[in-house]
Structure 1
């Protein structure tokens, strides 16, 4: 990883109630020299959200700005792919700057981390939901025994853990919550998590792609070799570790690059890691609005991500228009990818691919 700090907040936007929460006090005490600007809502900050001029300061904003808010809504959404349920997480936004990330579309031109300080309400909501469900009635492709809750749909929990104890609280909750497991995907190796004692209650999905592409699109993330090197350690620390091949980006030479990636994994993973290994495969979904934003700060990435000759518009489950690889062509590529994985990393079970 770069020696430069991923986060060094010099400006903190905060809702009025934040200092009244212990977690808010913890975070504010960590950055005593940051300028504090009170705002009525973490969702609508004039000068930050919707400010097209900030596109040229994309990375600086992610590094220097932090937003603190109180989560108002607690809803659970059924999933069935990465998890059984998409749960309300401890944060929204990220200090990393992956060029394909859909989250910035929701706030426009700037997407620093928003951390929610009312973690106790989140923990109570998650506990009540799991206990109301009771035991999982039958195995599915998500998990054979536990209800799995994705807590990181809109943020990277490995990064969130550098700001406060929110993530540690969640790991402890699912360590002791019978019949339930938390899950999140990550592109950042935070070795402090090795001390959290998860007891098998947390599934980490390390996101992987060929290194030469990651160096272009995975901005401010942990290099791919370091992510791979961390897998055995996290398994030994009591985490379930799966692989997240996402997004799969098609380009000239992708087959050779993925064969090299799979071979590297096959040569690195311990017997214990292999025994619990599984993967999800998610091909690139892009968006014209995000494409236009990226052209303002990282046009080189768009040479990989925006390929109209291979893509078509598809309506998302949330009602937006996204761009995905063309029907038929994508199906062939998914099959090729799975065959390549089976050839070079035969111990890796595929939970789902699309």
Structure 2
């Protein structure tokens, strides 16, 4: 997954123990270390259109260490109640539909923040201000904080102890739990002892499509095969059917996926299982980037005959499946899931 040969170090990060050899730098002792003024705007990396051709190589070989400057906790209401300030951004995987590269130019390796304690303090202060949680689709009793909005937490755990320490932090945070979606099976997380205070959402789609668009991720069968073990290790495990991509035969493939899940899942896993369903949202700028390194994926993702313009909650100009048409497909998927896995409630679908 990672063969880091160059680490860009924000100068300020060198003042933090987490950056030094007992944690992050010790994992990549042979990597070239390059000091930079800012983790966000690195000359030759961010905004370098020529790097599109090396999209995957950069993700595999480059790491950025920085200091997080702001600590917003934003309301969400879908995957979680709140989005926590992340301890990383970017990813070593290369899912063709990922929205993070839309904001980071033409290269999107992992950027890891070394001031984790400041992030935890911000979340702790926020959680302390919340009253008792009223039952909601996010969770019936706990305030849920998404800790991996802009990265894949399972991969982040290959880089630093940020993930292990955050799982431990949420064990001690009254009335709250962590949550993250992942497409990578990192069995080291099984030793983190979450005690039910961290929710893992395994992202799934039919393997026939995943092999084209889920680049450098764990095979779907491996993700499914890990669910029982994560439940047994003390995680709450939900499913994230995202993104749902429409193509000829998609319903047949999802029926087979649901049957595979039903065959594999333990009774314990089924008893606590819930799902979220998110249909594809794409972006014209990302479409152009993808054409530079993975045009085959765009044959699935960019279908103007079924898509329309959409302004996102953050103000971005995206495309989604057309209104009316999409609603019928959402209903069809929910009906299929209810028939194949009646024990798996859908927390939300759009």
| TM-score category, normalised to shorter length | over 0.9
1:291 aligns with 2:282: no
1:318-354 Cα distance to aligned partner (Å, 9 max, x none): 1111000000000000000000111111111000000
Provide the residue aligned with 1:14 in structure 2.
9
Provide the residue aligned with 2:271 in structure 1.
275
RMSD value over aligned CA atoms? Answer: 0.7
Provide the residue aligned with 1:57 in structure 2.
54
1:28 aligns with 2:25: yes
Superposition map of 1:227-242 within 5 A: 227-242=223-238
Provide the residue aligned with 2:251 in structure 1.
255
Match of 2:80 among 65, 78, 83: 83
SS at match of 1:252: coil
1:70-126 Cα distance to aligned partner (Å, 9 max, x none): 000000110100000011011000000000001001111100000000011111111
Question: Displacement of 1:193 after TM fit?
Answer: 0.3
* Contact 2:73/2:123, CA 8 A, preserved across alignment: no
Cα distance in 1 for partners of 2:93, 2:18 equals: 22
Cα distance in 2 for partners of 1:135, 1:40 equals: 43
Superposition map of 1:1-354 within 5 A: 6-25=1-20, 26-136=23-133, 138-354=134-350
In structure 2, the gaps of 5 or more residues are none
In structure 1, the gaps of 5 or more residues are 1-5
* Contact 1:134/1:179, CA 8 A, preserved across alignment: no
Question: Displacement of 1:133 after TM fit?
Answer: 1.2
Cα distance in 2 for partners of 1:224, 1:71 equals: 33
TM-score, with structure 1 as normaliser: 0.97
Provide the residue aligned with 1:3 in structure 2.
none
Cα distance in 1 for partners of 2:37, 2:77 equals: 36
* Contact 1:91/1:160, CA 8 A, preserved across alignment: yes
Question: Displacement of 1:132 after TM fit?
Answer: 1.7
TM-score, with structure 2 as normaliser: 0.99
Question: Displacement of 1:50 after TM fit?
Answer: 0.7
SS at match of 1:145: coil
Q: Which 4+ runs in 1 deviate beyond 4 A?
A: none
Segment of structure 1 superposing worse, 122-131 or 262-271: 122-131
